[in-house]
Structure 1
Amino acid sequence: MKDIEIYCRNTHTSHTYPMGTSLLEISNDLNIKLQNQVCGAIVNHQVKELSFCVVKPKHIEFIDFSHPDGMRMYIRSLIFVLYAAVKEVFPHVAFKVQNGISNGYFCELQGLEREISESDIFSIKQEMNALIEADIPFVKKGIITSHAVDLLAKQGLEDKAQLFEQQGRMYSYLYFLNDLGDYFYGNLLPSTGYISNYGLVPYFDGLLLQVPRRKHFKKLHKVVYNDKLFEIFQEQKDWAEILNVSTIGSLNDFALQNRSGDIIKISEALHEKKIAEIANQISARGNGTKVVLVAGPSASGKTTFSKRLGVQLAVNGMRPYQVSLDDYFVDREHTPKDENGEYDFEALEAIDIEFFNHQLIELFEGKEVRLPRFDFHSGKRMQNGKTLKLEKDDILIVEGIHGMNPGLLTDVAEQNTFKIFISALTQISVDEHTHISTADNRLLRRMIRDSRYRGYRAADTIKRWPSVRKGEEKNIFPYQENADIMFNSATIYELAVLKKYAEPILKLVLENQPEYMESTRLLEFLSYFKPISDVEIPPTSLLREFLGGSSFAY
């Protein structure tokens, strides 16, 4: 048998193995020791399961649960085990993963027709632990697509069956846990025995599946009841039901029937209605509200939302003025640095808090102030020549990532503010067991905007994204529940529209670039969507901030 050469990044050594040797065999032979148990590998910048057999020369890096893709493997496998346990304990109940929240996954048992009890959770966990103890392999099988569709439908997984059918492939892959079939659009662990830490607790009217901390695997995240965020997720679920679109498959049906225009019109109308309701709440408070703070993570659509809110406030007889918190950055040499010695532009200390509050107080006192403008090229704060003086019915709309942070407004009374947190909380799922990450939605938005308006390649945006996410987790999300109200900037149809713009720039990421792994994951994800044209998207849509064609000036 022919030998092939592999280079192992973990050991920085080259080795030869017979063609067809599995990654698991190579890992065992090299005695790979990582922080946690080896659960997969990156092969030529593509994620592979340990069952993958090498038939050509490869660069291999073994990964554990501390790697983002290793953790994805773990979560998918854990969800499969939870599904199998629910199926055993409640054969006639539909198990659905709805969304990510509280650093875990909110799940529903549809058809239970009563509240979930502690006894129910105990029974499910017992079954899960039995499956884990048995160390049952996850077996991936290629079967005729029509047979896969029938099998999924018989298990009650109609959404998965619909999506498989729409792909039009002759053969499809399913994972099996004993005789139970499923698919998770990504790699799984070798077996159930690799799962060693999880939690399952009641959460609102469902379950919260707790997953380990990526860098401290033996610890679970603390359960946090994000009431306002959960309310928005429930609102998004209601909107999806209004449109009869809750999964990629049901959205694809609208595209295949040339009815995507209906989805666009209703989605945009729902956004406009929600923004008008928020404006009415602000107006109802009277002249006491002097400043509206709009905050949210990257690519959430803060700027367009602020402008649309301004229009609705104007309809209510108020005169809004837009202010960007970015113009209050300290000069570059005073910007704080992170643990790597890089400028930390997302730290609260990057804002001149004292100057910002001083100008607000002067405005509230009826004084005229000269507004600043931050020059990102020189790293200096300038005067932009514009002056502002607030009259009786005037109101400030301040947009910036720190709007919910209690440390921002040190000199302004709480009753003078109205706080709005905005994020792109994806409104559809892939199927019953696979939610769509809101971070992926925002990454695609940002990638397109960076490419169209900032001259960045997709690889540049992907490379920067982990740092952006780290800043959000530290400086934005901990304060989101301080909002008076939350707004979901995502639309049900948008990922099918983003597909046309994202695919060409993702395909430009080369195989020898580290970002290739993420680009292929996103391309695989987008492949499940049938494209929807952006022709009917109005020029005031939040999505226009990323696609172009907006009637607002930025």
Structure 2
Amino acid sequence: MQTIFCTLPSKKRIKLDYGTRVSELIRSEAEFSAPPRPIIAALVNNELVSLSFKIEISSSLEPVSLDSVVGMRIYRNSLSFLLSRAVSELFPRRKLIIGHSLGHGYYFYFNSEEEISADDLEGIEKRMREIVARNEPIVRRVISYGEALDYFMKTGHHSRVELLRFRNEAKIPVYESGEHREIGYQPLVQSTGLLNLFELKPYSPGFLLRYPSSAAPDRVAKFSDNPVLFSVFMEYKAWGKILNVNSVGKLNRLVESQKIGDFIQVAEALHNKKIASIADRIAERRGTVRAVMIAGPSSSGKTTFTKKLGIQLKVLGFNPIAISLDDYFVPREKTPLDENGDYDFEALEAIDIELLNQHLIRLLKGEEIEIPLFDFIIGDRRPSGKYLKLNRRSILLMEGIHGLNDALTPQVDPETKYKVYVSALTQLNLDDRNRIPTTDNRLLRRMVRDHQFRGHSALRTLQMWPSVRRGEDRNIFPYQNNADSAFNSALDYELAVLKNYAETLLRTVKPFHREYAEAMRLTSFLHNFIGIPDREVPRDSILREFIGGSKFHY
């Protein structure tokens, strides 16, 4: 039998028989004998694999524990699988659909959109806990394309059939537990006994499947509602009904039928209609609102949104004036440092709040100010020679990550501010149980933009992303519910456009890079889309902010 070698995290190098399963290796090695958290997967040559994976080449191996970011993603996906199994056993004629994330939970509803009863929800949770108590295996298998297509057609899983119609692999990975089977996109836990931490919470008209966070993996945190985010999702879901596309398979069918152009026009028109309605709401407070504060996470399209909002405000008789918060950065030597000792430009303290507030108050009093200009080369502000004074028609547009945080403008009367939250919250699903994370949408936007306009590699973007996400969790998401309006910048067709750029970039990430697993996850995800040529994208689209060719200047 062929012998291969495996390097463990301790740098120990061991001999293995060809085809040794990851689970067998972990059970046999002392350094894995008492992990502080359960090991639920592994990185083999930086590729994320299940514990049943067979090692066939000399490799490095690193276990993935339940409390890691990757581990918690596996846990969440496995919980959704468990929920889907319980529902299929109790209500075989009802179709459960995943909606979106809300806090540390996923929103689910039935396709009939009927209100779920308390008795039904109690029954689902009871069945889930029974399956967990029996510690039943969740088995990964590979079946033929024909068998997969036939199974999902017979069981009425049309979104999976649609997805398979545009794939042609001879072998399709699936996960099975009891009589339940689903397409395998990413590893799941090996057995149901690990899935004991969850909560089902009614959330009309559906319910939430709540789970622990990686920061506190031993408990399900107290629920904190986010009505602004939920209202955006429900609005976007209504748009999905208008467009009649809520899954990747349906989007692919439109591309195949050469009807995508009309779809894109309607999607863009809905964007413009929403921006116009936000402008109308601002106009309702004419005479009171003097500044529009625009905030959102990275790559949410804030800059293009601000430009398009300015156009709509002009239609209503305003004179919009944009002020860049970047010009109010403190000098480089006063910039706070993050936990790694690097400059933290996303911290609130990186802004000269005192100067900003002085300028805003003077402007609102009708006085003239000189707008500063921050020179990123020297790391300090310098005179711009640009003077600003507001008239009665003027309204300030201020875009920045701290716009919803009142600590940014504590000296400005709250009545004079109108706050808008912008984010890309896609309603598109891979299939009924597998959602497209909104963070993946933004990550791909950023990856393409960073390469197109900043010369960054996909590897660099992936390396920076965890720090970006931590900054969002600290500086943006806690203030979402302060918004007067929310705008969803996601476009249901955009991932099929970004695919044409991102796939090539992701191939530059190699197996010896730690980010390889994330690159392969995104590559596998994009494989489900038929590409849409960028010539179909209107020049004033928010998507142009990331791929280039915009009519706006940035």
Deviation of the 1:466 alpha carbon: 0.3
Distance 2:7 2:296 in 1: 43
Distance 1:375 1:490 in 2: 32
Partner of 1:119: 119
Partner of 1:231: 231
- The answer (yes or no) to whether the contact 1:76–1:184 under 8 Å persists in 2 is no
Distance 2:315 2:113 in 1: 46
Of 284-293 and 334-343, more deviation after overlay is shown by 334-343
Partner of 1:66: 67
Distance 2:186 2:520 in 1: 11
Partner of 2:110: 109
Distance 1:170 1:16 in 2: 33
- The answer (yes or no) to whether the contact 2:363–2:389 under 8 Å persists in 1 is yes
- The answer (yes or no) to whether the contact 2:104–2:212 under 8 Å persists in 1 is no
The one-letter code sitting in structure 2 at the alignment partner of 1:378 is I
Of 510-519 and 304-313, more deviation after overlay is shown by 510-519
Deviation of the 1:493 alpha carbon: 0.5
SS at the partner of 1:288?
Answer: coil
- The answer (yes or no) to whether the contact 2:428–2:436 under 8 Å persists in 1 is yes
- The answer (yes or no) to whether the contact 1:145–1:165 under 8 Å persists in 2 is no
Distance 2:55 2:547 in 1: 41
Deviations 1:368-400 (A, max 9, x none): 100012222221122222110000100000000
Of 419-428 and 175-184, more deviation after overlay is shown by 175-184
Partner of 1:14: 13
**1:390 and 2:376 matched:** no
Deviation of the 1:67 alpha carbon: 2.1
Structure 1 residues 465, 112: CA separation in 2 closer, same or farther (over 3 Å shift)?
closer
Deviations 1:41-97 (A, max 9, x none): 000010010001112111000111122222222111111111111122222211111
Of 271-280 and 26-35, more deviation after overlay is shown by 26-35
Deviations 1:267-301 (A, max 9, x none): 11111111111111111211211000010000001
**1:25 and 2:24 matched:** yes
Alignment of 1:29-428 (within 5 A): 29-31=28-30, 32=32, 33-111=34-112, 113=114, 115-428=115-428
The one-letter code sitting in structure 1 at the alignment partner of 2:248 is I
Deviation of the 1:519 alpha carbon: 0.9
Partner of 2:480: 480
Distance 1:57 1:389 in 2: 68
Distance 1:519 1:542 in 2: 25
Moved over 4 A (4+): none
The one-letter code sitting in structure 1 at the alignment partner of 2:40 is C
The normalised TM-score by structure 2 is 0.98
Structure 1 residues 112, 409: CA separation in 2 closer, same or farther (over 3 Å shift)?
closer
Deviation of the 1:338 alpha carbon: 2.1
Distance 2:73 2:364 in 1: 49
- The answer (yes or no) to whether the contact 2:76–2:211 under 8 Å persists in 1 is yes
SS at the partner of 2:390?
Answer: coil
- The answer (yes or no) to whether the contact 2:113–2:206 under 8 Å persists in 1 is no
Partner of 2:549: 549
Deviation of the 1:196 alpha carbon: 2.8
Partner of 1:430: 430
Alignment of 1:526-537 (within 5 A): 526-537=526-537
Deviation of the 1:451 alpha carbon: 0.5
Distance 2:379 2:156 in 1: 58
Deviation of the 1:166 alpha carbon: 1.7
Distance 1:372 1:247 in 2: 47
Deviation of the 1:112 alpha carbon: 7.2
- The answer (yes or no) to whether the contact 1:263–1:492 under 8 Å persists in 2 is no
- The answer (yes or no) to whether the contact 1:34–1:63 under 8 Å persists in 2 is no
SS at the partner of 1:429?
Answer: coil
Deviations 1:122-165 (A, max 9, x none): 21111111111111111222222222122123323110121012
The one-letter code sitting in structure 2 at the alignment partner of 1:343 is Y
Deviation of the 1:184 alpha carbon: 4.0
- Matched-pair identity in %: 43
Distance 2:356 2:36 in 1: 45
**1:519 and 2:519 matched:** yes
Of 534-543 and 40-49, more deviation after overlay is shown by 534-543
Deviation of the 1:354 alpha carbon: 0.9
Q: Which runs of 5+ in 1 are unaligned?
A: none
Deviations 1:333-371 (A, max 9, x none): 111122222222111111111110100000011111000
Deviation of the 1:13 alpha carbon: 0.8
SS at the partner of 1:287?
Answer: coil
The one-letter code sitting in structure 2 at the alignment partner of 1:38 is I
Partner of 1:458: 458
Deviation of the 1:489 alpha carbon: 0.5
- The answer (yes or no) to whether the contact 2:173–2:184 under 8 Å persists in 1 is no
Distance 1:492 1:184 in 2: 23
Distance 2:491 2:382 in 1: 37
Distance 1:476 1:533 in 2: 33
Deviation of the 1:109 alpha carbon: 2.5
Q: Which runs of 5+ in 2 are unaligned?
A: none
Deviation of the 1:208 alpha carbon: 0.7
Deviation of the 1:406 alpha carbon: 1.6
Distance 2:224 2:263 in 1: 34
Partner of 1:469: 469
Of 19-28 and 372-381, more deviation after overlay is shown by 372-381
Deviation of the 1:472 alpha carbon: 0.2
Distance 2:342 2:143 in 1: 50
Structure 1 residues 492, 285: CA separation in 2 closer, same or farther (over 3 Å shift)?
same
- The answer (yes or no) to whether the contact 1:138–1:188 under 8 Å persists in 2 is yes
The one-letter code sitting in structure 2 at the alignment partner of 1:20 is G
The one-letter code sitting in structure 1 at the alignment partner of 2:11 is H
Deviations 1:403-429 (A, max 9, x none): 001211111111101100000111311
The one-letter code sitting in structure 2 at the alignment partner of 1:145 is Y
Deviation of the 1:199 alpha carbon: 1.4
Distance 1:427 1:331 in 2: 41
The one-letter code sitting in structure 1 at the alignment partner of 2:5 is E
- The answer (yes or no) to whether the contact 2:336–2:344 under 8 Å persists in 1 is yes
What is the root-mean-square deviation in Å for CA atoms of aligned residues? 1.3
Of 209-218 and 55-64, more deviation after overlay is shown by 209-218
Distance 2:471 2:299 in 1: 14
Of 175-184 and 409-418, more deviation after overlay is shown by 175-184
Distance 2:87 2:107 in 1: 14
Partner of 2:445: 445
The normalised TM-score by structure 1 is 0.98
Of 147-156 and 421-430, more deviation after overlay is shown by 147-156
SS at the partner of 2:533?
Answer: coil
- The answer (yes or no) to whether the contact 2:172–2:183 under 8 Å persists in 1 is no
